[in-house]
Structure 1
Amino acid sequence: MRILHTSDWHVGRTFHGRDLLVEQESVLSGLADLVSTEKVDVVVISGDLYDRAVPSADAVALCARVLMWIRAAGARIVITPGNHDSAARIGVFGEFAAAGGLYLRTQISLLDKPVELEDEHGPVAVYGIPFLEPEPARHALGVADKGHAPVLGEAMRRIRADLASREARSVVLAHAFVTGGAPSESERTIAVGGVQDVSMQVFAGVDYVALGHLHGPQTLAENLRYSGSPLAYSFSEARHRKSVWLVELDEGGLVGVERRDLPVPRQLAVVSGTLADVLEDPAHKPLEDHFLSVVLTDQVRPMDALRQLQKRFEHAVHVEWRPEQGPQHDMTYAERVRGRTDEEVACCFVSDTRGSEPTVAEMALLREAFASVAREQEQ
């Protein structure tokens, strides 16, 4: 059996205010081509199908199109919800969808009831663990201890118990932060009480674990992997090699996992320098079609910098002002203000936050304010 492991589609997500539906359709529609060319039997989506619990009509329509294309290409589909999804909304009509080859595993009470599939070697049990919000999940599962590890441990205990009653190979879908995984800036934290990670050992005893939540593809063990998101959703992912995992099971279990790269509809880049340098440097020409984040080093904050940058870089979406600092940059606040008057401190505050010295009129207003405070203190 050949399984395509994907996750974290986040359909409907924006990138610094830019709509990504066109880019998402461009990448996700290619999954159907992979199904055809690689003779994939099952596509799994390990959580965060959508970017929000109540997705837009356009996001739902895009998901429906992509799932229909995958199904038409010949693969069955198994989906579990992630922390961005609404399990109830994704799972609605699940029993009817299964008749068409779309299996929705959204209920905690059914996490140990697998999707039962067959190939020439016999049965394969595919278990879907929906994202387990620790507090409600521990009540549903009868777990006394708080946190992600106890509820996922109980979920896997139930799965192993069911698996022991079968003669089947096994695949588990889970949306979680597993110790050893490398996060990026675009995942929403799932920490509760400061503890969000679970041990790899929690998932022992199954042939393959298809993880979701972290957006970078990574291998924690040969049979324990994150596929990552199909697109980059933060500039911290600019160096990610977006891909999916092609998993193969034979009669004895996992026989191999291969990587399949996904297309990049628009690359990401980060540049720094003064506004004038960034706008004029011919070396930046290859970046004119990139999503661009710019770190400006001008000593004075440029006015309307993003609009100016977009005249050359249409897809510039983020600007950060980080002026080159003087020798006081590494000093503590107490060291910087020691021996200064209130007026001098206020003057420096205006300079640091605005990037230019206060005007004569502004200094007069500051002196008037300090004088007023002094009079009140004397009364």
Structure 2
Amino acid sequence: MAPSPLFVSTSGEKPALLSISFASDPAGSLGTQLMNHDKGSPGEMFTPGYASVGRLLEGETVARKCGVKVGDVLVAVNGEGFRRFKPEHKDEDLDDLTSHMDGMGLKDLDEKARVIAGKKDGEHYTALLGKIKAVKKAADPENPLLLSLERYDWDSRVNSWPRFLVAREGDVPAAMQMIQQHETWRQSHFPVDLTNKGLQDVLKAKAVAEIDVEHEGLPPTVYVSFSKLQALESDHSPQDVVNAFVIFTEELLSRAANPRQPKTSQFIDLTGVSISSGLRVDILKKVYAAFEPNYPETLHKMVMFPVSRVVKLTASGLLSFVNENTKKKFVITDDLDVVCSELGWDKKEVEACGGVTDFMHKHEKHGSTMIFD
């Protein structure tokens, strides 16, 4: 199949469905650590259930066998709903990820859309756990434990709302305005036309790319080469760089192990670039204007390298448009040890490659499916 000339957002609002049956293993362990979403916190208001998967335990557990992932929301037990609010979509309009379930599918169950509300904080979660324990204890082969879950994308309100709330320091009205503005931006920005000449030039030059490196638990990195952007200066606009940046950010965030806490780092390669004459602040402002309001709390670190200690003072002044919380995540340095520590790179490999730029060339992954000749 030919690649699409349009890049759509990697996240949507519709969930996917997943069912877990204990029919073949009544005494089996689910093998998850659940998160309690019944604490009365404003961050819970868009979570449809009172519990979600916070961690998968090691071993041959039912959860691992059934394909459960971190972030999946538990919404029903044996066909009885334990929801905060009614589902927004009909089951027939959603993908069902359940491969098999002893002849019973999630869509065959009654009452799973039931809403329970009005109890004190914590009592809904307790009722959910109580139902699970009661079914397990009964050990009825005709009525095995059956859990219904929903899986939401990283930028759905279910998963993104807590990040917007943090970005607005817990101010619910301000966070609501921010997320609504983001949703408007998302509708107007996507899909991105990959055939745009300026964007194609940026992608072909690998001026913006993904760094495909094992990170030892640290998030993946979006790479930006300012020297390559300088070489393309007459053939692209700052918006082309923004679009490339958004594309790679979307791709990396969509792969996050935890959709509630997706993270990326950004590496700004300033090799051969003069801060005073070559640092395109207009590009940084454009990227920041797209990233800050639309991907809040997803930046792990932004590393700018190499920047001498003297020039670092100038760079800090040029970045005065960045808010204080984001500035704390900026690392402006000429120290390779600092770069490798912040991004999880192997310094010996970087040096063996001949430096950061050649290390980037070795590991850059620019997405050949997005190149249109």
- Using structure 2 for the length normalisation, give the TM-score: 0.30
Q: Which has the higher strand share?
A: 1
Higher Cα Rg: structure 1 or 2?
1
- Using structure 1 for the length normalisation, give the TM-score: 0.29
Greater relative CO (CA pairs within 8 A, separation 6+): 2
